[in-house]
Amino acid sequence: MTFHTGIPVTNQPSALADRIGRGLLALCALATLVAFANGIAILFDVEPDRVMSEAWRTLGYLVFVGLFTMIIVAPRNQRGPWELIFLHKIAITVFGVVAATSNTPDAAKTWPIDAGLVIATAIAYVLCRGWQGWRPSSASARSTS
């Protein structure tokens, strides 16, 4: 433990903060699994010309479940999954807000869900100190273990 101006500085979050952050990520993964199940149901009722795009979207949910799971397992040893989630969820939220203003079906219902995932992931990022995966000391610890 290092001291700076008499205050202990640690690279690890408190156990409570880490549990809360990982719990939020688990809720995100669970919500994404529910979206996957809903996507499967939609596949049985979609027009034939939309089957491939719906399958692509539905199977993409499993990728996000995987990203959330990777982070839950090792939140401070990941380079990229946090940022990929932020990139996609912020982009789709912005797109959904814009699409909702032009009366695109489902946009008004879906963008708040993605916005919620952005917020929950951002809170987890802070609580779990997700940025530490990019520190050089984290990289050398990963390569030796």
Mean pLDDT of all residues in 56-82: 96
Give the Cα separation of 120 and 21 in Å (integer): 8
Q: Between 136 and 102, whose confidence is greater? A: 102
**Amino acid 24: pLDDT:** 98
Give the Cα separation of 140 and 145 in Å (integer): 9
Give the Cα separation of 81 and 85 in Å (integer): 6
**Amino acid 16: pLDDT:** 96
Return all residues near 36 (Cβ < 8 A) that are at least 6 apart: 58, 61, 62, 65
Name the average pLDDT for the chain. Answer: 89
Give the Cα separation of 59 and 108 in Å (integer): 22
The pLDDT confidence band at residue 111, using thresholds 50, 70 and 90, is: very high
**Confidence (pTM):** 0.83
> How many other C-beta atoms lie within 10 A of the C-beta of residue 34?
11
The pLDDT confidence band at residue 9, using thresholds 50, 70 and 90, is: low
The pLDDT confidence band at residue 65, using thresholds 50, 70 and 90, is: very high
* pLDDT greater than 50 at residue 144: no
Specify whether the CB–CB gap between 108 and 56 falls below 8 A.
no
